[in-house]
Amino acid sequence: MKILIPILCLISAVDLQDTPDGECCGEQEVDLSQHLELEAVCPELSGQIIGGRSSSIVRHPYQVSMVLNGNSFCGGFIISPNYVLTAAHCVQNVLPSAIRLRVGSTRRDSGGRIVPVANVTVHLQYGTPQFDHDIAALQLARPLTFSNAVQAIRLPQPRQAVPLVRLTVTGWGLTAPRGRRIPRIMMEANVPVVPHWLCRLSYGDALTNNMFCGGHFLIGGVSSCQGDSGGPAVFRGIAFGVVSFARGCALPLSPTVFTNIAALRDWVTQNTGVYEMFLIGYQFKVLSPIFTIHWGLQMRRNRPLWREKQNEKNRKHFESFKRELFARYRKDPLHLLRKSVQAKKT
């Protein structure tokens, strides 16, 4: 993190992305000073969807709104009839009996069904190092009845790589940086995944292998924000991440950081008993190994030696490019941002 000291001085402190209740779309201003106890304990920490659009629970039936003392404060998502996943910082030191979940509703303050929580399991290594292992499992007091508005979402395989695509993030968090209005209607945004090596230029050693980043790295403009914590980052029906923290909301050089579910998949299985069975993808290979071997040999024949050598050469060039970019960034952290601004002027 030493190389990022100039940036940290210019950009606001890291925010854990949760928020108290408020309204918008009928929106209503809320007093953000009356935040959860988290801000009193960690004033440097404190995310609604920035650059998103209105959505519906039918599009995202796994999404839930977490309610504490009558206020919506975080999101979560259903992974089985008995369990919901969320961020650890949302529920740490909170009694299970104080938490209520609203499921099956596009609105955060009405509709659907209120479900009590029987037990909260926070990852034992949460916060070591800071912000790491930001995941928790909520055991429901009674099983959910699935419908078109209440469904579980699939989880990735253990250690499955996060695809470099646009993930869909949902929630009821702030819709403008430093805003004071929280929407009643669920919002969604498509957030591009930032390569891990590139995100380390912004967060340094604070970014562990249990995290990944999403957002427009240079220009910002799209991200989760306060109130979206604990919600999922989804691609093709699989929840790859949990909204965790960011430095501000949708700021340049400060993408949102997500907990990497695939990296912590074993913990999820041990604490929820949810196993993801990928029989469709492997069934044919098990039943027909001869076809699998033939397919592999055919692919090998279709890839000539010169192409493999070229791919290796390209990989080495890319590694060299990353090293040069990192060295340049250490000397002048705002070089890339200034370059983009100059390009726009011309």
248 and 166 inside one domain: yes
176 and 249 inside one domain: yes
Phi (first) and psi of residue 288, to 5 degrees: -135, 70
Which residue, among 261, 179, 263, 271, has the nearest Cα to 228 in the 3D structure?
179
251 and 302 inside one domain: no
CA angle 163, 336, 51 (to 5 degrees): 55
**Residue 34 counted as domain residue:** no
74 and 136 inside one domain: yes
Looking at the 3D structure of the chain, how many domains does it have?
A: 3
* Surface-to-core class of residue 252, CB atoms within 10 Å of its CB (0-12 exposed, 13-18 middle, 19+ buried): buried
What pLDDT does 338 receive? 62
CATH number at residue 253: 2.40.10.10
Pairing of strands 23-24, 71-80: unpaired
131 and 183 inside one domain: no
Cβ-contact 104, 61 below 8 angstroms: yes
77 and 136 inside one domain: yes
What pLDDT does 187 receive? 87
**Residue 23 counted as domain residue:** no
115 and 179 inside one domain: no
What pLDDT does 286 receive? 43
84 and 158 inside one domain: no
**Residue 195 counted as domain residue:** yes
Q: Which residues are catalytic?
A: 89, 134, 229
What pLDDT does 6 receive? 36
What pLDDT does 250 receive? 62
Residue where one domain finishes, among candidates 84, 107, 140 = 140
- Structural domain span for residue 93: 59-140
Q: What is the CA radius of gyration of the chain?
A: 21
Give the Cα separation of 80 and 66 in Å (integer). 17
115 and 200 inside one domain: no
pLDDT along the chain (346 residues), means of 10: 37 46 36 34 38 85 92 91 95 92 91 95 92 96 95 95 93 66 81 92 92 83 70 95 83 88 95 64 42 51 68 80 76 64 52
**Residue 165 counted as domain residue:** yes
**Residue 268 counted as domain residue:** no
**Residue 16 counted as domain residue:** no
**Residue 249 counted as domain residue:** yes
**Residue 272 counted as domain residue:** no
160 and 257 inside one domain: yes
106 and 170 inside one domain: no
Cβ-contact 73, 21 below 8 angstroms: yes
| Residue that the structure tokens 């250690």 belong to | 159
170 and 224 inside one domain: yes
